[in-house]
Amino acid sequence: MSQIISTKDVKHIAKLARLKFEENELERFTTELNKILDYIHKLNELNTEGVEPTSHVLDIINVFREDDVRDSLSNEEALQNAPDKDYGHFKVPRVIEG
């Protein structure tokens, strides 16, 4: 494993993220981040010629229904089971006190 990220780099990243690490945590994160970067470098060695870029492994299609215009409920129908209504609106308890 070649060390690409130093402990100084991890301290800088932690400062930007407003994180505080103990010295042993800094060493652990330095090692882990370098392992991640080594793996990425290994993936870069793969021959991807002829492989199309994709955002999903499977071909996904939209399964939503068509957006057809339909009649909606009338105001009276929407309010018919409301426990309390006033002037054509649902009446609810006040939430914000002022």
Mean pLDDT of 66-83: 92
Distance CA 83, CA 89 (A): 11
Q: What pTM was estimated for this model as a whole? A: 0.49
Residue 83 pLDDT more than 80?
yes
CATH class of 7-44: mainly alpha
* Alpha-helical regions (H) of 1-98: 7-16, 23-44, 75-79
Q: Render pLDDT for 2-11 as a digit per residue (tens, 0 to 9).
A: 668 999 999 9
Which pair of structure tokens corresponds to residue 81? Answer: 């089971």
Q: Render pLDDT for 2-40 as a digit per residue (tens, 0 to 9).
A: 668 999 999 999 999 999 999 999 999 999 999 999 999
| Average pLDDT along the chain | 89
